[in-house]
Structure 1
Amino acid sequence: MSAPTTHRTAEEIGRTGTGPRPLPPLGETREVPLPDVTTTTLPNGLRVLAARRSGVPMVEMRLRVPFAVPGDTADPAFTARAELLSSTMLTGTATRDRVGIDDELASVGADLGVAVDPERILVHGSGLAAGLPVMVGVLADVLTAAAYPDPEVVRERERLVERISVARAQPSTVAREALQRKRFGSHPIALEMPTGEAVAAVEAIEVRALHRAGVVPRGSTLVLVGDIDPDAAISAVTEQLAGWTSSARAHELGAPPMPAPSDLELVHRAGSVQSQLRLSAPAPRREDPRYAAFQLANLVFGGYFSSRWMENIREDKGYTYSAHSGVEFLPGGAVLGVETDVASDVTAAALLETRYELGRMTAVPPTVDEIDAARRYAIGSLLISLDSQGGLASTLAALDADGLSIDWLRERPVRLEAVTPEEVAESALEFYAPSRFTGVVVGDAEVVGPRLRALGGISTGGIA
């Protein structure tokens, strides 16, 4: 008969007589397990990327069509038409109405959606792998014969106006629009959401004309990831999208100016009980040799929960529930964003601590332990993000838009493992100096203004 055992707590299990049990060292991840990608350009100019990722009998689809306004200045009317186009593209064709499209997709467990931003239109969807021909057939019909029926456009126009009204009442939307104006001025990338008035003025005939002129294959990219045979999938796409043609090329967004260092702009939002802090500075792009070191420096500063900034203003000071820093990739460049929301009475204190942590990155470089923790997080989160078909499809589409292939992903862990503490310190010094930043603070200026102005580096802006 075995001797009776006593229950031990997790803390007891994790300790020895001489102290906590040491964690075993993590092995190096030398390569991300990724499939081969078959790439081809169809006769109509469409670029197609297909990859087999089995595991579940599904397929993910991402069609990216560059869809920027002509010229280098924002056009509110174009943005309104583009937004309404994305909302009504799937409402009917010459042979299918909205219900017919939904029913045909549902018959193979599929769905499609459309999104738009200043850079591109994205048609995204997923479905049973066996139903890929049906998905592509519906997509082909929409691309070549979307009807934008007047009643559907009117209905969606009214809904869109209402959604815009609701969104514009949200502090996060106000802060985002103010930041984009501060960073990019009148460049088209700054105008992410149209006004309700501009949308209300759009007619169905204008949406149809915009589709004919801008939704074109040349310069666009289709990504397919799933339990598919890549060659067979490309053959099906070639056949079914043969009728999608145009002599025009999809219009790429021109590179915006990078944000210049300047005072933070205080944007008055009367009666607000919270403030939105949004800081920004130029950052390196993915293909930049400094990017791996920058990524680790960003994680140490504010890129994940255990970062310095989060520990300071959330865990230690209790100023906020969430604080985050991250990179946005733009045509020809990238920007670092630093953002958090805090109560009005601690706005100045939170800004002070944010500037302190930025300065500490340059004066007190990340330690070896901080870098190793960030490195483990970066590699682990990369593997998790690419584990699903949808995550891989979205990442391939984003990389292809920047001229990068799946090899960039395969080599990513090796580059992260190779980064030295000295390189992270150099990146922190180069990219995190407080003097490099600009941005906005959105809040009740009468409440937060006096203390902010006492800190310096604040200019009075507009009214939200």
Structure 2
Amino acid sequence: MPTPVDTVLANGLRVIAVRRPSTPMVELRMALPCAGDTHARAAAAEVLVTTLLRDSPDGGEQLHSELARQGISLHASRSARWLDVSGSAPGQALRPLLDALTRALVSSSCGEGGMAQIRMRMQRQISVIRSQPHVIAQEALFAHCYGEVPGLQDVPLAADVARVTVAAVQELHRTVVRPRGAVLVVVGDLDPERAVADVASATAEWEDAGDPPPGPELPALRAGIALVSRPGAVQSQVKLTRHVVPRADDRFPAVSLAALTFGGYFSSRLVTNIREEKGLAYRTDTGFQDHLNRLALAVDADTATDVTAEAFGEIAAELERLVDTPPLPAEIDAAREYTIGMAMLALTSQAGFASSVLTAVTLGHEPERVTRFPQMLRDVTTDEVADAARAFFRPDTFSGVVVGDAERIEPGLRALLGDRLVARRAV
């Protein structure tokens, strides 16, 4: 890990600068807290992201053509918890990149010009996205596990977007786009001290507006498996989840390796069983998701309607086997080398390094976590992985949903789950 310059400016912005001169470029990554507590706020945040980097309130191009000629790019996106900005530029163009970013941060560029077209285009896009099976299943999972929590919503509702006003976006800009609580990472062919000074100078007019408002609280996880009906569906989506320890917990590296050996990569037990050997799943995966302030272990599978119950039974059986027969040293070593290799591969480019540092920091770690975590994985023992499997992988501790043609899949699921199949609802 190159020694970073990590400081908080007078306006509250945290800046992390790292020298990685592999190419004569600089990469910029920024995150601003953006968790909301209403569907209207999620919709306004989506419009805010779309208009954040426009040239003018009247609907100009997203990027100044002058910046494009200098090889500078800027892009904005959002998740349920963060508003993200990414950018890149030749090393000598860092200051123009920062100046362009600051113009977007200081004042809203959302105006009446083009707003109707923006809303119409976004509604069409959202309708397509929200019709995708994996999006339907994810929202069904949140609804079953937590009830109505708009702060978990990655994709807003089209009807809510249609009601977004310019005034709502401008107000959200004032409350969300503030320096305190935001993180800016700059990586590349640069002098870190000079880069921080450039950031401080460029963002001097971005004034401290106080701490960002607290995000919504996550309700307790509801138990049981919900059946969500999609009449006529030829595939079913199985999604299981449970809360685990935070990433900062000493047990997390062991939990991570247990998840990998169970179903987190191509040689894992679950993939080998239900995909490669039995052909019961088109896709299956195991990993971690951030549900607001809680970390969740997620097990997903896409199956054909006719084998949904059989696939669910095999997932539950593999979970039970992981508890009763913990991973062998050879399994753990294979998973360990795979994830270390993937982590180190992500750090080889300036863009990957910048993204990894920002992810680590927004998850509550220090920048050095990106290079320290592989060593933490190497230090995990076989017994620690076995303890993690017993503590967090018992099948009856998972909540979840099965989304599919309920008329065809309910009898088999009912026979497997009995009273644990707690609800049947329509999409």
The 5-angstrom pairing of residues 10-409 of structure 1 reads 34-69=1-36, 74-93=37-56, 98-99=60-61, 101-260=63-222, 262-409=223-370
Alignment TM-score, normalising by the size of structure 1: 0.88
Q: State the secondary structure of the residue aligned to 2:113.
A: helix
CA distance in structure 2 between the aligned counterparts of 1:53 and 1:308, rounded to whole angstroms:
38
Q: State the secondary structure of the residue aligned to 2:368.
A: helix
Q: Which amino acid aligns with 1:63?
A: M
How many angstroms does 1:434 deviate by? 0.4
Q: Which amino acid aligns with 1:192?
A: D
Q: Specify every segment of 5 or more residues in structure 2 that has no aligned partner in the other structure, as ranges.
A: none
Q: State the secondary structure of the residue aligned to 2:74.
A: strand
CA distance in structure 2 between the aligned counterparts of 1:267 and 1:190, rounded to whole angstroms:
19
How many angstroms does 1:330 deviate by? 4.4
CA distance in structure 2 between the aligned counterparts of 1:417 and 1:214, rounded to whole angstroms:
40
Q: Decide whether the 8 Å contact of 2:257 with 2:385 is kept in 1.
A: yes
Q: Which amino acid aligns with 2:168?
A: E
Q: Given the alignment, which residue of 399, 403, 410 partners 2:371?
A: 410
CA distance in structure 2 between the aligned counterparts of 1:104 and 1:219, rounded to whole angstroms:
31
Q: Decide whether the 8 Å contact of 2:255 with 2:385 is kept in 1.
A: yes
CA distance in structure 1 between the aligned counterparts of 2:296 and 2:62, rounded to whole angstroms:
43
Q: Which amino acid aligns with 1:452?
A: L
CA distance in structure 2 between the aligned counterparts of 1:127 and 1:259, rounded to whole angstroms:
44
CA distance in structure 2 between the aligned counterparts of 1:444 and 1:208, rounded to whole angstroms:
43
**Counterpart in the other structure of 1:9:** none
**Counterpart in the other structure of 2:384:** 423
Identical amino acids, percent of aligned pairs: 38
Q: In 2 relative to 1, CA 393–88 (structure 1 residues): closer, same or farther, beyond 3 Å?
A: same
Per-residue deviation, residues 112-163 of structure 1 (Å, max 9, x unmatched): 1111222121111222222111111111111113321212222211111111
Q: In 2 relative to 1, CA 97–195 (structure 1 residues): closer, same or farther, beyond 3 Å?
A: closer
CA distance in structure 2 between the aligned counterparts of 1:462 and 1:111, rounded to whole angstroms:
45
CA distance in structure 1 between the aligned counterparts of 2:302 and 2:372, rounded to whole angstroms:
36
CA distance in structure 2 between the aligned counterparts of 1:246 and 1:43, rounded to whole angstroms:
8
Q: Specify every segment of 5 or more residues in structure 1 that has no aligned partner in the other structure, as ranges.
A: 1-33
CA distance in structure 2 between the aligned counterparts of 1:169 and 1:332, rounded to whole angstroms:
27
Alignment TM-score, normalising by the size of structure 2: 0.95
CA distance in structure 2 between the aligned counterparts of 1:332 and 1:210, rounded to whole angstroms:
22
Q: Decide whether the 8 Å contact of 2:25 with 2:188 is kept in 1.
A: yes
How many angstroms does 1:252 deviate by? 4.1
CA distance in structure 2 between the aligned counterparts of 1:353 and 1:377, rounded to whole angstroms:
25
Q: State the secondary structure of the residue aligned to 1:151.
A: coil
Q: State the secondary structure of the residue aligned to 1:45.
A: coil
Q: Given the alignment, which residue of 424, 432, 444 partners 2:393?
A: 432
Q: Decide whether the 8 Å contact of 2:55 with 2:64 is kept in 1.
A: no
How many angstroms does 1:194 deviate by? 1.7
Per-residue deviation, residues 152-189 of structure 1 (Å, max 9, x unmatched): 22221111111111112111110011112223322343
Q: Decide whether the 8 Å contact of 2:39 with 2:150 is kept in 1.
A: no
Q: Decide whether the 8 Å contact of 1:37 with 1:49 is kept in 2.
A: yes
